[in-house]
Amino acid sequence: MSTINYSDKIPNNVNLSEDRTLQRALEQWQPNYLNWWQDMGPEGSVDYDVYLRTAISVDPQGWAQFGHVKMPDYRWGIFLNPAEAERKIHFGDHLGEAAWQDVPGEHRANLRRIIVTQGDTEPASVEQQRHLGLTCPSQYDLRNLFQVNVEEGRHLWAMVYLLHKYFGRDGREEGEALLERRSGNQDNPRILQAFNEKTPDWLSFFMFTYFTDRDGKFQLCALAESSFDPLARTTKFMLTEEAHHMFVGESGVGRVIQRTVDMMNQLKTDDPAKLRAAGVIDLPTIQRYLNFHFSVTIDLFGADESSNAATFYSTGLKGRFEEGKRQDDHRLKGQTYQVLNVVDGKLVEKEVPMLNALNEVLRDDYIKDSVGGVERWNRIIDKAGIPVKLKVPHKAFHRSIGSLAGAKISPDGQVVSQAEWDAKAKEWLPTPEDRAYVASLMGRVVEPGKFAGWIAPPVMGINRQPVDFEYVRFN
Amino acid sequence: MTTTFKQHLIDPEICIRCNTCESICPVQAITHESRNYVVDAAKCNFCMDCISPCPTGSIDNWRLMPQTQPYTLAEQFGWDDLPAEKTPEQLAAMGVAEGVTVTADDAAPQAQTDAAPDPTGQAPFNPSAYNATLPPWSAAHAYTNLYGPRAAEAFVTATVVGNVRVTEVGTEYDTHHLMLDFGAMPFPVLEGQSIGIIPPGADAQGRPHHPRQYSIASPRNGERPGYNNISLTIKRVLQDHQGNAVRGVASNYLCDLKVGDTVQVTGPFGTSFLMPNHPRSHIVMICTGTGSAPMRAMTEWRRRLRKSGKFEGGKLMLFFGARTKEELPYFGPLQSLPKDFIDINFAFSRTPDQPRKYVQDLLRERAADLAPLLQDGNTHTYVCGLKSMEEGVVLALRDVARGAALNWDEIGARLKREGRLHLETY
Ligand SMILES: Cc1cc2nc3c(=O)[nH]c(=O)nc-3n(C[C@H](O)[C@H](O)[C@H](O)COP(=O)(O)OP(=O)(O)OC[C@H]3O[C@@H](n4cnc5c(N)ncnc54)[C@H](O)[C@@H]3O)c2cc1C
Ligand code: SF4
Ligand code: SF4
């Protein structure tokens, strides 16, 4: 008989100790997970005590507990938002019926695919960020990186729980495969392309957490509407944690900008060369990084016309962002939506059935949300009295999915020739020189309260701790 | 005269619009437009559930404002940054007597805003910064949210088995001691927790009334030991915080219930305002009015333990404020507790021919006894009552510490960290 206390070993609010089959499956998976973390988790961090926010339950008092924890001892666990009594399906063909507590046979394959795709992004970003700890600009930032990593790890747990609990043997195999794929690996890459890109430096990391983790927010929001109640409840809880990731990105880029504009005013110059000589990242470079991460991320929403998206919606697997707050019929039959196309060298809008355009609908919601934060970055520049604005590029810029794949469009939305693209691309996207310059700034700063020269300190510490708090204890 | 309150606001400059606070707020006080996340002053009950989950700290902002003129939602939606704290002159121009926070209920202490210290050199004193979010280490485990919108059952039905008035008849404010029985339904509680009551009917917009929270006044094994019942202390609300006549929905409903009536209950709530269980723990209780409910619960549990010989020691100290002794709930029973069991201090603000006295005056008077307790790791301090008492009480504790040449910032931070200072005000 096993003497393991499951609520200690695998903290959960899903009554794991009463489900022997699930227990056994997860018990087998867990050592492999820990091996994966040893191999692919943050490099060199095994002995650190990190000031982490840990969820020990899902109520407001329980899910944000702060304290120093060794990351391998983090409470990786399974937390679902509390069930809503008699929850009803609120969109698609099954509108008004009771939400599913189990997987309906006919939707099994699609649901599994959705869960696997979501699950695959979680370890992928940990792998992408594996070496960043070696070049952190401060202890505060190092702690934030680790917080992001442990939560990605826990989100993987959440998806594996669903696979194990509801998808039998297929689910267990998919669970294994999640630990076998590797970001950027030629033979066995991660499922989505953005998760095979490198995150080579901290500016990329901040852009990634701002733009790409925000994609996560929108996908999770859409899944949190799902008729499959366990999926809805899991993703709802994941969302509460995802917020921190976007915070890391938004405040991170903001602090880079703050430092740059301070230096611009100090040196009274906007010359990138002089600013680089002074060790800060010039605004045009930041704009190019922004263009890159934004365009790569909006590709993640998929093709602009998709029959899969229509099926996922009509069958109730995946809703829209804030489905519950929308005022339409939640079936969307016979409605249309505009998507972009290039016709005769011009961008034109084309009307397509709404159901087929749901990827585009989600992408547009995402874009609105992203723009808000860029405006807040602009306020930093504005406050410093500098007449420059960062801009989100046109949504047709640098796309490689759907009808815009390969179209040559400038950041302001003009169709351009191949020649013009080739001539201008270095003004629009980060060049190898940009990347080399940013890489040259990456040194490791870990003394409490000290910050690398290219980034400003944060306005506030984590959990109202002082900025020079000992966020990481190196043992 | 207009009264002031600390309005809960979000700093739009730091907030990243992540929606965490909105999804967590139990009373839907937080909303957003495309630009800002904002707190509705009419709905926020200062439960603090949103504070620690906010990843940026932008949620933890407070501005002293006239109760009648809070920043509206429309104003907040338009902000790029938080407005500065209003000066005493600006507040005076808005009808507030200069520098003074006047509370609606005079039984509550008067907090002198001009006495507020300024720990950062800029920010107003924020007593809630010292409020522990963790329970004492020896607290029993609390069950929460067994019934409610996010639980399997939206509410549990309880039966009224007793309803007695506990303040003297003929005084302005009546306060009732209400006993509820849960029959066979599970409703495990601990001293310091609260429950929700859903008043029947609908509000002016036709929506069902939102539940009102009430502290449990009985100990864990029941108002009547061994029975599945609890008691509450309810003050009938006949005036709003500004002194205008209103009939409080839930409090009047509850005060008028008859034995045999049933009520819809949600909860229990609360995981940190819980009593220590280790035998040598000391408890300092500071309350006004119905803030006495959790103090009664803790005192009674200690009394039962002591009677059964299961308690070794530990001091109980009570500071209790009301306008007059006639308005003080449980005045009689409190008088009959043995002096070596509990050290009781009353403050009356309206006894004829006597100077007004508030609980913080009592705290300062008893500084010599409180200072050693503040330094003792076994001491747990609880504050409950009207919102407006909070600042005065925490400032008095700070003065007690400073008077004994102690570093309040250190002590305050330790009390919070170790789950030893708990504020629950409403
Ligand atoms: C954690 C917690 C514990 C609580 N414990 C208790 C308790 O043990 N006993 C108890 O009686 N109350 C307690 N309350 C307060 C209680 O929840 C209600 O707010 C109170 O009973 C008024 O509700 P109502 O429906 O009668 O008034 P409402 O109809 O909600 O309000 C009517 C008007 O009166 C104002 N108002 C509300 N409360 C007061 C007040 N106390 N004094 C003056 N004006 C007021 C409101 O702002 C409003 O303008 C507690 C509150 C909280 C958050
Ligand atoms: S303090 Fe409580 S009621 Fe007020 S906004 Fe925060 S969560 Fe909502
Ligand atoms: S939780 Fe904090 S950062 Fe997020 S929206 Fe609310 S106030 Fe803003």
CATH number of the domain that B381 lies in?
A: 3.40.50.80
| Largest separation between any pair of C-alpha atoms in chain A | 73
Q: Would you say residue B115 has pLDDT above 70? A: no
B239 or B396: which carries more pLDDT confidence?
B396
B18 neighbors A246 (Cβ within 8 angstroms): yes
CA B296 vs CA A244, B194, B220, B302, B316: distances in Å: 41, 13, 12, 10, 12
Counting DSSP H helices and E strands in chain A, the numbers are 14, 5
- B114 — pLDDT class (breaks 50, 70, 90): very low
Which chain A residues are within 8 Å of B49, Cβ to Cβ? Answer: 60-61
Percent of chain B with pLDDT over 90: 51
A21/A174 Cα distance (integer angstroms) = 17
- Residue B183, by phi and psi: left (phi above 0), alpha (psi -120 to 50) or beta? left
B291 is in an annotated binding site: no
H or E element that contains B344: strand B343-348
Is residue B117, in this structure, part of any structural domain at all? no
Calculate the average pLDDT of chain B: 86
Nearest residue to A231 via CA among A319, A307, A300: A319
Task: Say which residues have a Cβ less than 8 Å from residue A103's Cβ, sequence separation at least 6.
Answer: A111, A166, A167, A228
Is residue B47, in this structure, part of any structural domain at all? yes
Residue B169's pLDDT is what?
67
Domain boundary among B269, B302, B322: B269
Residues B1 and B134 both lie in one domain: no
- B101 — pLDDT class (breaks 50, 70, 90): very low
User: Can you tell me the mean pLDDT for B16-27?
Assistant: 85
Is the Cα torsion angle A419, A423, A429, A430 positive or negative in sign?
Answer: positive
Question: Can B388 be counted among the known catalytic residues?
Answer: no
Neighbouring-strand partners of residue B245? B239
State if pTM tops 0.80: no
Count of structural domains, chain B: 3
**Each residue's pLDDT tens digit, A123-144:** 999 999 999 999 999 999 999 9
B424 is in an annotated binding site: yes
Question: Can B138 be counted among the known catalytic residues?
Answer: no
* Interchain CB distance below 8 Å, A81 and B60: no
Residues B304 and B410 both lie in one domain: yes
**Each residue's pLDDT tens digit, B34-71:** 789 999 998 888 888 888 788 788 898 999 888 888 99
Q: What is the CATH number of the domain that holds B255?
A: 2.40.30.10
B218 neighbors B194 (Cβ within 8 angstroms): no
**Peptide linkage before B53 cis (omega within 30 of 0):** no
Nearest residue to A178 via CA among A130, A112, A107: A112
A256 neighbors A377 (Cβ within 8 angstroms): no
Residue B393's pLDDT is what?
93
Residue A56's pLDDT is what?
80
Sheet (strand B421-425) strand order: B343-348, B316-322, B282-288, B379-385, B421-425
Q: Which of B231, B281, B384, B388 is catalytic?
A: B384
Classify burial at A406, counting beta carbons within 10 Å of its beta carbon; exposed 0-12, middle 13-18, buried 19 or more.
exposed
User: Can you tell me the mean pLDDT for A167-195?
Assistant: 93
Is residue B377, in this structure, part of any structural domain at all? yes
Residues B278 and B168 both lie in one domain: no
**Each residue's pLDDT tens digit, A398-420:** 999 988 998 999 999 999 999 99
Lowest pLDDT segment from A322-326, B16-20, B167-171: B167-171
- Mind telling me how many Å the CA of A246 is from chain B's nearest CA? 8
Residue B104's pLDDT is what?
29
Residue B281's pLDDT is what?
94
Question: Can B384 be counted among the known catalytic residues?
Answer: yes
Residue of B nearest to A60 (CA): B49
Question: Can B173 be counted among the known catalytic residues?
Answer: no
Is residue B111, in this structure, part of any structural domain at all? no
Residues B282 and B406 both lie in one domain: yes
Is residue B151, in this structure, part of any structural domain at all? no
Q: Would you say residue B326 has pLDDT above 90? A: no
Is B254 strand, coil or helix? helix
Provide the CB-side half-sphere exposure for B99 (13 A, CA): 4
User: Residue whose CA is closest, atom 11 of ligand 1?
Assistant: B234
**Each residue's pLDDT tens digit, A256-281:** 999 999 999 999 999 999 999 999 99
Is residue B109, in this structure, part of any structural domain at all? no
Residues B250 and B280 both lie in one domain: no
Is residue B315, in this structure, part of any structural domain at all? yes
Question: Which pairs with CB-CB distance under 8 Å and at least 24 residues apart come from A24-32?
Answer: A25/A164, A25/A172, A25/A175, A26/A160, A26/A161, A26/A164, A29/A160, A29/A164, A29/A172, A29/A175, A29/A176, A29/A179, A32/A176, A32/A179
Residues B187 and B88 both lie in one domain: no
Calculate the average pLDDT of chain A: 92
Task: Say which residues have a Cβ less than 8 Å from residue A211's Cβ, sequence separation at least 6.
Answer: A249, A293, A294, A296, A297, A370
Q: Which of B215, B231, B251, B281 is catalytic?
A: B215
Chain A residues with at least one Cβ partner in B under 8 Å: 59-64, 66, 81-85, 217, 236, 239-240, 242-244, 246-247, 250-251, 368-369, 372-373, 376, 379, 459-460, 463-464
Residues B410 and B328 both lie in one domain: yes
User: Residue whose CA is closest, atom 19 of ligand 1?
Assistant: B212
* Interchain CB distance below 8 Å, B60 and A379: no
Q: Would you say residue A330 has pLDDT above 60? A: yes
Residues B196 and B326 both lie in one domain: no
For chain B, the straight-line distance linking the first and the last C-alpha, in angstroms and rounded, comes to 21
Task: Say which residues have a Cβ less than 8 Å from residue A27's Cβ, sequence separation at least 6.
Answer: A4
Q: Would you say residue B173 has pLDDT above 70? A: yes
Residues B276 and B251 both lie in one domain: no
**ipTM of the prediction:** 0.71
Domain boundary among B269, B296, B311: B269
**Each residue's pLDDT tens digit, B1-21:** 567 888 999 999 888 888 889
Tokens representing residue A280 in the block = 């800060």
Is A91 strand, coil or helix? coil
User: Residue whose CA is closest, atom 7 of ligand 3?
Assistant: B59
Percent of chain A with pLDDT over 90: 76
Domain boundary among B253, B269, B285: B269
Q: Would you say residue A167 has pLDDT above 90? A: yes
Annotate A374-396 with b (16+ C-beta within 10 A) or e (fewer): bebbbebbeeeebebebebbbbb
Residues with CB under 6 Å of ligand 2 are B 8, 25, 27, 29-30, 39, 44-50
Residue B185's pLDDT is what?
95
User: B20 in ligand 3 pocket by Cβ < 6 Å?
Assistant: yes
Secondary structure of A192-223 as H, E, C letters:
CHHHHCCCCCHHHHHHHHHHHHHHHHHHHHHH
Is the Cα torsion angle B143, B149, B151, B157 positive or negative in sign?
Answer: positive
Is residue B279, in this structure, part of any structural domain at all? yes
Q: What is the CATH number of the domain that holds B92?
A: 3.30.70.20
B335 or A1: which carries more pLDDT confidence?
B335
H or E element that contains B416: helix B408-417
A80/A235 Cα distance (integer angstroms) = 8
Residues B307 and B420 both lie in one domain: yes
Residues B419 and B289 both lie in one domain: yes
Nearest residue to B49 via CA among B25, B27, B28: B25
Residues B338 and B365 both lie in one domain: yes
B324/B352 Cα distance (integer angstroms) = 9
Tell me how crowded residue B103 is: count the other CB atoms within 10 A of its CB.
22
The helix-helix angle for A307-314 and A358-383 (nearest 10°) equals 100
Q: Would you say residue B282 has pLDDT above 80? A: yes
User: B25 in ligand 3 pocket by Cβ < 6 Å?
Assistant: no
Lowest pLDDT segment from A223-232, A258-267, A441-450, B104-113: B104-113
B99 or B82: which carries more pLDDT confidence?
B82
Question: Can B214 be counted among the known catalytic residues?
Answer: yes
Q: Would you say residue A166 has pLDDT above 90? A: yes
Structural domain range at position B298: 128-139+272-425
Percent of chain B with pLDDT over 70: 92
Tokens representing residue B33 in the block = 């437009």
A143 neighbors A462 (Cβ within 8 angstroms): yes
Is B111 strand, coil or helix? strand
Tokens representing residue B5 in the block = 């309150």
Q: What is the DSSP string of A164-188?
A: HHHSHHHHHHHHHHHHH--TT-SSS
A145/A209 Cα distance (integer angstroms) = 10
User: Residue B17 CA: which ligand 3 atom is closest?
Assistant: 5
B275/B380 Cα distance (integer angstroms) = 8
Residue B125's pLDDT is what?
66
A50/A149 Cα distance (integer angstroms) = 12
Residue A244's pLDDT is what?
85
Counting DSSP H helices and E strands in chain B, the numbers are 10, 17
Q: Would you say residue B119 has pLDDT above 50? A: no
User: Residue whose CA is closest, atom 8 of ligand 2?
Assistant: B25
- Our measurement of the distance from residue B71's CA atom to the centroid of its chain's CA atoms, rounded to an integer in Å, reads 23
Q: Would you say residue A66 has pLDDT above 50? A: yes
- Mind telling me how many Å the CA of A212 is from chain B's nearest CA? 14
CA A396 vs CA A97, A162, A211, A346, A407: distances in Å: 39, 36, 16, 11, 8
Is the Cα torsion angle A286, A290, A293, A296 positive or negative in sign?
Answer: negative
Q: Helices (DSSP H) in B25-158: which residue ranges?
A: 73-77, 88-93
